[in-house]
Amino acid sequence: MSALGMTAALGGCGVTGGSGDVTLRLVAADYGDSGANTSQKYWDKLVKEYESAHPGVKVEVTVYSWTDVDRKVKEMVDAGKAPDMAQIGAYADYAAKDLLYSADDLLSISTQADFASQLATAGQVKGIQYGMPFAASTRLLFYNKTLFKQAGLSAPTTWKQLAADAEALKAQGVKYPYALPLGPEEAQAETMQWLLSGGGGYTDTVGTYGIDSAQNVDTFTWLKDDLVDKGLTGPVAPGKLNRAAAFAAFASGDVGMLNGHPSLMKIAAKKGVKYGMVPMPGVDGATKNSMGVADWMMAFKKNGHAEQVGKFLDFVYSDKNVLDFSREYDLLPVTNSASQTMSSAEQDADLKPFLDELPQSELPPVDKTSWAAVSAAVKKRIGQAVAANGSPAATLAQLQSTASMAESAE
């Protein structure tokens, strides 16, 4: 259905046929990388199965690219035509405006209790869960086994070893000894992984922004002095290097090491790159907390279909459907039961290292409505911290100021 058709359809009352018939509308993101595995196919199959068992309910799913989906949902909500459900990147703004059902309003106790605890917590605002995790991922340090073997190296476990490995790779003529994508595409993720590895993060233990903490300044000072200034991050300035370009360079054999999520396995394997994966090195050993990422399902109160939405979502979060989705798109399941199945299944062995990181992972402060503005500021500015004439302390102080202002406006 076209965007215009969608808008027109959403203008209706959402009820079709007899008084007992209900049409639920879901807007979802596309996780596929081609027409062959678009998320529309996943949802069409799931909906067909659901509707056959629930004759009074129709479910219409419209899938948009990640480039468009958050904006499309915002436009619908702003026009007073919210869908019943949205599966997108952030929920906090809508929760803050009291537009969403809570998970308690919708899900069975067994479904709600099955969410991985740190994902369920990340979906809460003031102790009430509005964001239901839909897909999850963690990050590991990928390294090129061929390049490491040629240089006589083993995978690093500390920053010092990472820098020494990068020096050795540079001496072998490797283009990007360590690829540091701090460009605007996804700098907030690379930044968070490094902040965590230095014992810091975006927020302190009570959830207050602490971007310019001593640990964070130390982390970016080390990155600038020991990696970037020594020419160990490649020919493109980190602030201009995007994640997609870094992944492509790894798949071309031009990168020694970089942080990656599960999809990089497939990208590298297609090009015949032999890779290894280890937890992100920290100051004195492997990082205690990896970075976790989650995308969210939410349900809008506008159309008043709590009962029907709840039953449909209970089906969406059944083991079979969670596993089918996770396996199709190389993502981690958001439920404990599906995670247990995947951790012992031979077909999921490639994902197990990421799965092992999930219980110790830390998510960005997605419960804050200010996070969108802070994330955008990090994407725009963090590259300056490691630039030739940059100051890590000054850049992090600017970002902290942005965060404090954004938080005070909440």
152 φ, ψ (degrees, to nearest 5): 70, 40
Q: Where are the domains of the chain?
A: 3-136+293-360, 140-289+370-408
Report the relative pairing of strands 292-299 and 176-178 from DSSP bridges.
unpaired
CATH topology for 140-289+370-408 is D-Maltodextrin-Binding Protein; domain 2 (3.40.190)
Instruction: Report the pLDDT value the prediction gives residue 1, as an integer from 0 to 100.
Output: 30
Instruction: Report the pLDDT value the prediction gives residue 310, as an integer from 0 to 100.
Output: 97
Give pLDDT < 70 ranges for the chain. 1-20, 410
Instruction: Report the pLDDT value the prediction gives residue 20, as an integer from 0 to 100.
Output: 59
Instruction: Report the pLDDT value the prediction gives residue 33, as an integer from 0 to 100.
Output: 79
Instruction: Report the pLDDT value the prediction gives residue 235, as an integer from 0 to 100.
Output: 97
Instruction: Report the pLDDT value the prediction gives residue 294, as an integer from 0 to 100.
Output: 94
Per-residue model confidence as pLDDT tens digits over 19-34: 458 999 999 999 987 7
- Do domains 3-136+293-360 and 140-289+370-408 share one topology? The answer is yes
Per-residue model confidence as pLDDT tens digits over 185-195: 889 999 999 99
Q: Which CATH class is domain 3-136+293-360?
A: alpha beta
